[in-house]
Amino acid sequence: MIIESVVWPKRQIKEGYETTLILTEDGRSLSGYLNGKNNDIVRLRDLASAKIHEIRADTIEAQVGKGTAMPSGFTNTLTREEVRDLIRFLSELGNNR
């Protein structure tokens, strides 16, 4: 799954990791991961800062799923060894607990 996510990021997006774009009535544009929602509030986790934005649902003009944050062609400029090292690094994350 890690290899597929790195080499072909648009093929399969893990639940909770699809980016969402929200446009509000006051002209704001927010992008991130949905962190929760109810009838009144939509929570969006900012990709860069991890800050949670709480947006009133009645102020949302548009909400669009944008797919993965992983750029297409990310591995095109890497050597075979660099891709291997990246996959190894990612697969070992969290194993040192």
Average pLDDT score, the chain: 86
Q: What is the mean pLDDT of residues 55-67?
A: 91
The pTM score is 0.65
Residue with tokens 């597929």: 4
pLDDT for the residue numbered 94: 65
pLDDT for the residue numbered 24: 95
User: Domains in the chain and their CATH numbers?
Assistant: 1-13+70-97 (no CATH), 18-67 (2.30.30.100)
Q: What is the mean pLDDT of residues 12-17?
A: 73
pLDDT for the residue numbered 17: 76
CA-CA distance, 81 to 87, in Å (whole number)?
10
- Quick check: 95 pLDDT over 80? no
Contact 41, 57 (CB under 8 A): yes
Contact 19, 31 (CB under 8 A): yes
